[in-house]
């Protein structure tokens, strides 16, 4: 079964310069960083709704709550991604071919997510994946074989796969060679990007880069470069997370600028890439602070903890005439009200896991900021809104219930969550029409 699952977790800085081996022969980079891959007005693919979403609509209608039923209907009738999370190479080939053919028949662009890398999610709520690097690569080959040769599709590669490397959570891999697992993870993701572009050169491949409240710019840029981001269209941000869109737009621009700086101007100098944890730069006389993820960032914000002018001026000074080329997309499916700031005290609030009081975000749109952020290819609904992030317990040892949802046991990762689905729709920003 294809379904999206939860994304999140904590990470430590990974050491640089991990070995990468066993790659496919390089694909010519003609389509990597393509300037205008998704024209304004691009129509995105709409998959069939989850069975439980249809059930919830029927139940609400039967109970006389037609307004709530209409909200869920609008939620599931918004274009969103299709996730590929397992099965045999033959099965994933058939699934990919079916989605690609349906999208082509409707003259739409499908967003497809591959999520089967070995040891995914650091043994948390969405653990699993292929049993070995070889098995994963065979599975990727199956997926790639299902794509049409010259069809425009979007493929997001392994949410959190680079942001949550085995070296970030070594306790999840007891008795194993974590350094080898980490090198294998990066090599697998690089292989996936190459295999997909080889099968369909018009596919827009984005390696996932976590979110703006996680790794600093230089760290995630380092990981992306090791995984071959300069040979694909770019990277994805905020998948299954809740960070504000303006923050992701700035963060994505900085990552692309850092990649340009460290691959062209000063190779390997990731430490000089401005980042969200210190905002100093020429524009503010190098008086920086950490940016606050609970507000919206901009160059004109009066609060120093939200002002990005220093970081942007810093990149302008170090890039000179070098132009960034790595593009990015942002998951806006659930970020209409930004991240959750808990009011209760928990051992681990798990702010990424079914947070209350959140709302659907901006509807999918190609080239949403062509002037301010020309490298931003699209806002997309990558996570399927309404599907649970996992059985959150806010870090309470031995507990299986979620105090933020009335003490219930949340549905498993990927299962439909009626209460959250309706709340997301009711609190959507902008409102659902």
Tell me: the pLDDT tens digits for 162-179? 999 999 999 999 999 999
Cα–Cα distance for residue pair 82/96, rounded to 1 Å: 9
Q: What is the pLDDT of residue 1?
A: 37
Please count the CA atoms within 13 angstroms of the CA of 59 that sit on its side-chain side: 10
Which 8-state DSSP code applies to residue 252?
H
Q: What is the pLDDT of residue 10?
A: 37
What are the distances in angstroms from CA 407 to CA 138, 401, 410, 416? 42, 5, 9, 17
- pLDDT one-digit tens code per residue, 42-82: 999 999 999 999 999 999 999 999 999 999 999 999 999 99
pLDDT at 119: 92
Distance from C-alpha of 218 to C-alpha of 271, rounded to nearest angstrom: 6
Q: What is the pLDDT of residue 17?
A: 34
pLDDT at position 433: 78
pTM of the model: 0.93
pLDDT, tens digit, for every residue of 80-108?
999 999 999 999 999 999 999 999 999 99
Q: What is the maximum alpha-carbon separation in the chain? A: 64
Instruction: List the domains of the chain with CATH numbers.
Output: 29-426 (3.20.20.40)
Q: Is the pLDDT at 13 greater than 60, yes or no?
A: no
CA distances from 139 to 130, 230, 231, 245, 357 (A): 8, 23, 21, 33, 38
**Does the pLDDT value for residue 29 go beyond 80?**
no
Beta-ladder partners of 284: none
């Amino acid at each position: 079964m294809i379904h999206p699952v939860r994304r999140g977790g904590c990470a430590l800085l990974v050491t640089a310069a991990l070995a990468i081996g066993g790659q496919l022969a390089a694909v010519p980079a003609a389509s990597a960083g393509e300037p205008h891959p998704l024209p304004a007005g691009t129509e995105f693919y709409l998959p069939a709704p989850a069975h439980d979403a249809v059930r919830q609509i029927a139940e609400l209608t039967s109970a006389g709550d037609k307004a709530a039923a209409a909200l869920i209907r609008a939620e599931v009738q918004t274009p969103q991604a299709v996730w590929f999370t397992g099965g045999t190479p033959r099965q994933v080939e058939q699934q990919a071919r079916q989605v690609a053919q349906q999208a082509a028949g409707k003259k739409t662009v499908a967003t497809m997510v591959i999520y089967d890398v070995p040891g995914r999610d650091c043994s948390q709520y969405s653990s699993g994946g292929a049993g070995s690097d070889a098995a994963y690569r065979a599975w990727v080959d199956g997926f790639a074989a299902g794509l049409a040769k010259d069809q425009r599709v979007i493929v997001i590669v392994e949410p959190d796969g680079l942001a949550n490397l085995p070296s970030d959570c070594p306790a999840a891999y007891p008795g194993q060679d974590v350094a080898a697992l980490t090198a294998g993870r990066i090599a697998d993701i690089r292989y996936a990007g190459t295999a997909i572009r080889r099968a369909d050169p018009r596919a827009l491949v984005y390696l996932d880069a976590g979110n703006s409240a996680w790794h600093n710019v230089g760290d995630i840029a380092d990981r992306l470069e090791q995984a071959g981001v300069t040979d694909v269209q770019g990277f994805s941000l905020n998948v299954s997370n809740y960070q504000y869109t303006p923050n992701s737009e700035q963060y994505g621009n900085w990552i692309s600028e850092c990649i340009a700086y460290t691959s062209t101007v000063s190779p390997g100098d990731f430490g000089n890439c401005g980042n969200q944890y210190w905002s100093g730069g020429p524009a503010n006389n190098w008086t920086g602070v950490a940016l606050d993820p609970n507000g919206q960032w901009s160059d004109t914000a009066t609060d120093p903890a939200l002002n990005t002018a220093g970081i942007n001026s810093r990149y302008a000074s170090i890039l000179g005439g070098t132009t960034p080329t790595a593009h990015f997309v942002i998951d806006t499916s659930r970020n209409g009200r930004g991240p959750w700031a808990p009011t209760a005290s928990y051992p681990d609030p798990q702010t990424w896991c079914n947070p209350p009081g959140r709302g659907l975000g901006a509807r999918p749109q190609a080239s949403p900021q062509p002037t301010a952020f020309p490298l931003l290819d699209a806002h997309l609904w990558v996570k399927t809104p309404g599907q649970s992030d996992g059985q959150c317990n806010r870090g309470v040892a031995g507990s299986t219930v979620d105090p933020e949802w009335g003490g219930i046991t949340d549905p498993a990762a990927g299962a439909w969550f009626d209460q959250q689905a309706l709340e997301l729709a009711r609190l959507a920003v902008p409102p659902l029409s």
